[in-house]
Structure 1
Amino acid sequence: MLNTRQIMDIIPHRHPFLLVDRIEELKPGIRAVGVKAVTYDEPYFSGHFPDEPVMPGVLQIEACAQVGAVAILSLDENKGKTAYFGGISSARFKRKVVPGGDVLTMECEIIKRKGPVGVGKATAKVGDEIALTAELTFVIN
Structure 2
Amino acid sequence: MTDFLDQITWNEDGLLPAVAQDAESGRILMVAWMNREALKLTASEGRAVYWSRSRHKLWRKGEESGHIQRVREIRLDCDGDVIVLQVEQLGGIACHTGRESCFYRVLTAGQWHTVDPVLKDPGDIYS
> TM tier, shorter chain?
under 0.3
Higher relative contact order (CA 8 A, sep 6+): 1
Structure showing the higher strand proportion among its residues: 1
Decide which structure has the larger Cα Rg and report it: 2
**What TM-score does the superposition give when structure 2 sets the normalisation length?**
0.27
